Amino acid sequence: MTGFKKAFPRHSVELRLSDLNVLLKTIFSGKIFKGKESKKFKEKFGNYIGEKYVCLVQSCRLGLYLSLKAFNLKKGDEVILPVYTHYSLPIIVKLCFLKPIFVDVEEDTGNINPDLIEEKISNKTRAVLISHLNGVPCRMKKIMEICDKNGLKLLEDCAQSLGAEYEGEKVGTFGTVGCFSLRVGKALTGFGGGVIITGDKEISENISAWIDELPMINILSLCKEIIYGIISFLLTRPLIFTFTLFPFFQILETLKSGLIDGLTEENVSTKCNSSFIKDISYQMANIQAGVALNQLNKVDFWNQKRFENAQILAHFLQQTKGLLLYKPGRKKEYKEVSYHYPLRLKDETRVFLFRKYLLKEGIDIKIDDLLDLSRCDFLNNVKGFFPKVKALEKNVLQIPNSPVLKKKDMEEICYRIIHICNILFG
């Protein structure tokens, strides 16, 4: 492997020229914060998902918080959630003065294991909060049976799974409420933003009333989001990435393994306070809704590209030594969107060495930042035994599979990974 070597970014941001046209038109119209695009986007998103009531907020995180508030639970009530998910979920539960109760996950998907939920239900359990990780739906039939049987509210975190389906229904529509993210880098971007969907009119009205009381995102923060999104779009084109960010990443990795991710990780132990929600408590701007509206008709195309690229990885790497692969599309009842392609090593002690070799070969990956939440400092005295999560934490690698990558790019990524595995695992 000599001569010019194209580098591949871990993720990409998808924008089109028409998205930039929407930005400019909205700016010149003077309807940056309020306008008809917000209403149009809510209607179109509701039709796409298949749910009646849609609310717009500044982030999925805020959406989850307002949704839990709308359940009208009492202080000390329990919410069941997976032990392996984003650290923000139990913080949100605690900020609603509720108690998080953890359930172990399925090792192949990282999603909550429905077979373990009922044993965690007590007389204080009032809700279940699930995450559909990496664009793979949870086992909704079993989860819905449990919630219906025990009279529990269900809140779906769909930040990584827009467009995914279970038995023909889109995720987000199974629960009492579903929440989606429009952050830069998600399947659908509004340069920030989040969407709440529900079939419950009263919950929708309560959430809408709270949103109306929030201030609009300020112009400086909005400009930062837009500039960040446009720069991220440019820098995640493989050729541009090869000559800009990638050399910088190589220098950082030389200085200290994992430094690339460390620069962007939040200090979890300091985040369980009121500012965690206050800092994102803003309304979504009309200009953000306009961009998201323009992108919505491309979501299924981009999802299909991610899924096809994930299938290429699974196919080419299936006989490779030292790897534990996820095989997308193996369950007929699922329509996966492969937001990330999760790869694990059989020997988890070699993760950082494997990553170092990948970076040397031009493949930028991210070690998944999801945590074993039972060990977080801000959650004291967590009870339970969670064997599956220990196999996942710090051993899930996000391999590039973004829509910008063509079939020949994916095959080249596979060849390089096979080459590295032959060196490391012989």
Asked if residue 273 has pLDDT above 70, the reply is: no
Asked if residue 388 has pLDDT above 50, the reply is: yes
Asked which of 196-200, 260-264, 311-315, 403-407 is least confident by mean pLDDT, the reply is: 260-264
Distance CA 130, CA 156 (A): 5
pLDDT of residue 324: 95
Q: Report residue 274's pLDDT band, with 50, 70 and 90 as the boundaries.
A: low
Q: Report residue 394's pLDDT band, with 50, 70 and 90 as the boundaries.
A: confident
Residue 72 backbone zone (phi > 0: left; psi -120 to 50: alpha; other: beta): left
* CA torsion, ordered 231, 232, 233, 236, to nearest 10 deg: 120
Which residue did the predictor score with more confidence, 215 or 268? 215
Q: Can you give the residue ranges of every domain in the chain? A: 17-212, 229-266+296-425
Three-state helix/strand/coil letters over the chain: CCCCCCCECCCCCCCCHHHHHHHHHHHHHCCCCCCHHHHHHHHHHHHHHCCCEEEEECCHHHHHHHHHHHCCCCCCCEEEEECEECCHHHHHHHHCCCEEEEECECCCCCCECHHHCHHHCCCCEEEEEEECHHHCCCCHHHHHHHHHHHCCEEEEECCCCCCCEECCEECCCCCCEEEEECCCCCCCCCCCCEEEEECCHHHHHHHHHHHHCCCECCHHHHHHHHHHHHHHHHHCCHHHHHHCHHHHHHHHHHHCCCHHHHCCCCCHHHCCCCHHHHCCCCECCHHHHHHHHHHHHHHHHHHHHHHHHHHHHHHHCCCCCCEEECCCCCCCCEECCCCCEEEEECCHHHHHHHHHHHHHCCECCEECCCEEHHHCCCCCCCCCCCHHHHCCCCCCEEECCCCCCCHHHHHHHHHHHHHHHHHHHC
Distance CA 173, CA 162 (A): 11
Tens of pLDDT, residues 3-37: 679 999 999 999 999 999 999 999 999 999 999 99
pLDDT of residue 1: 45
Asked if residue 171 has pLDDT above 80, the reply is: yes
Tens of pLDDT, residues 285-304: 999 999 999 999 999 999 99
Q: For the residues 265-287, what does the mean pLDDT come to?
A: 76
Same fold, 17-212 and 229-266+296-425: no
Q: For the residues 350-363, what does the mean pLDDT come to?
A: 94
152: tokens are 């529990």
Q: Report residue 385's pLDDT band, with 50, 70 and 90 as the boundaries.
A: confident
Query: What CATH number has the domain spanning 17-212?
Result: 3.40.640.10
Report the CATH fold assignment for 229-266+296-425.
Answer: Aspartate Aminotransferase, domain 1 (3.90.1150)
Asked which of 111-125, 171-185, 375-389 is least confident by mean pLDDT, the reply is: 375-389
Strands 84-85 and 371-372: antiparallel
Q: Let me know: does 291 contact 389? Beta carbons within 8 Å.
A: no
Asked if residue 375 has pLDDT above 90, the reply is: no
- Backbone φ, ψ for residue 10 (5° rounding): -60, -40
